[in-house]
């Protein structure tokens, strides 16, 4: 299997990014729900640290995937019989995926930075990253945007700001999962209804798919 893309199929590295990110994003989504809705108190600490570490790895892989999207050769051609409007939606869907894959971990990093607990931003014990903001600056931004009450001060302001940014992170996560679900349904439609090989060329061992007139 070639490393770079060809006109007929995705290359090995593009497939690696695609499936690794898909598994991490879906896994982290449900893991995040488990942490938020099931765990309590100190039981959250270790799972939350794991969630943060894996989220930052997602950010690095997403940036690498976007770089390789331009450096790894042109994307395989879409089926010739595919309607123009459907091609347009496919391109918009990919753009939304790339954007949300960056925004989701960044929003998590931002919410950790906005926490009044001032917890470190770490990738396991390998690397400590700087905060993107301070709790005070994040709270001032939220107030200036009218997202939290202007009358809040002190610890109430810090906690309201932190809760807001955590909700933003959760909303972006839901948006990404919905786009991923739409992407998966479209791929299944191509495979079982259109039978045009679009899904097969992204499968780990899928071969090239010839274009049909």
User: In the predicted model, what is the mean pLDDT of the chain?
Assistant: 91
pLDDT of residue 207: 57
pLDDT at 34 over 90: yes
pLDDT of residue 131: 96
Bridge partners, residue 122, by sequence: 128
Instruction: Please give the domain boundaries of the chain with CATH numbers for all domains.
Output: 12-202 (1.20.950.20)
pLDDT of residue 119: 83
pLDDT of residue 209: 53
pLDDT tier at 145 (50, 70, 90 boundaries)?
A: very high
Q: 124 near 54, Cβ under 8 Å?
A: no
pLDDT of residue 196: 85
Instruction: Report, in angstroms and rounded to the nearest whole number, the Rg of the chain calculated over CA atoms.
Output: 20
Task: Give tens-digit pLDDT for 95-142.
Answer: 999 999 999 999 999 999 999 987 889 999 899 999 999 999 999 999
CA distance 48 to 51: 5
pLDDT of residue 213: 42
Q: 79 near 20, Cβ under 8 Å?
A: no
pLDDT of residue 69: 93
pLDDT tier at 206 (50, 70, 90 boundaries)?
A: low
- Residue 131: count other Cβ atoms within 10 Å of its Cβ: 18
Q: Across residues 138-159, what is the average pLDDT?
A: 94
Look-up: residue for tokens 């007929």? 8
pLDDT at 68 over 70: yes
Q: Which residue has the higher pLDDT, 77 or 53?
A: 53
Q: What is the pTM of this model?
A: 0.90
pLDDT of residue 75: 87
Q: Does residue 154 come out as left (phi exceeding 0), alpha (psi in the -120 to 50 range) or beta?
A: left
Q: 61 near 21, Cβ under 8 Å?
A: yes
């Amino acid at each position: 299997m070639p490393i770079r893309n060809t006109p007929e199929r995705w290359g090995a590295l593009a497939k690696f990014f695609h499936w690794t990110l898909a598994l991490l994003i879906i896994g982290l989504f449900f893991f995040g729900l488990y942490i938020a809705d099931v765990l309590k108190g100190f039981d959250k600490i270790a799972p939350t640290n794991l969630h943060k570490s894996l989220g930052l790895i997602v950010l690095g892989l997403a940036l690498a995937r976007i770089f390789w999207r331009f450096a790894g050769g042109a994307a395989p051609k879409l089926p010739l019989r595919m309607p123009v409007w459907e091609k347009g939606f496919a391109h918009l869907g990919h753009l939304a995926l790339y954007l949300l894959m960056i925004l989701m971990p960044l929003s998590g990093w931002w919410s950790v930075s906005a926490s009044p607990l001032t917890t470190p931003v770490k990738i396991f014990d390998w690397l400590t990253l700087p905060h993107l903001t301070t709790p005070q600056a994040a709270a001032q931004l939220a107030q200036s945007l009218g997202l939290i009450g202007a009358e809040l001060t002190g610890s109430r302001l810090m906690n309201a700001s932190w809760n807001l940014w955590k909700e933003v992170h959760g909303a972006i996560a839901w948006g990404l999962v919905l786009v991923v679900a739409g992407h998966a349904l479209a791929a299944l439609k191509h495979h079982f209804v259109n039978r045009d090989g679009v899904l097969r060329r992204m499968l780990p061992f899928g071969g090239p798919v010839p274009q049909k007139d």
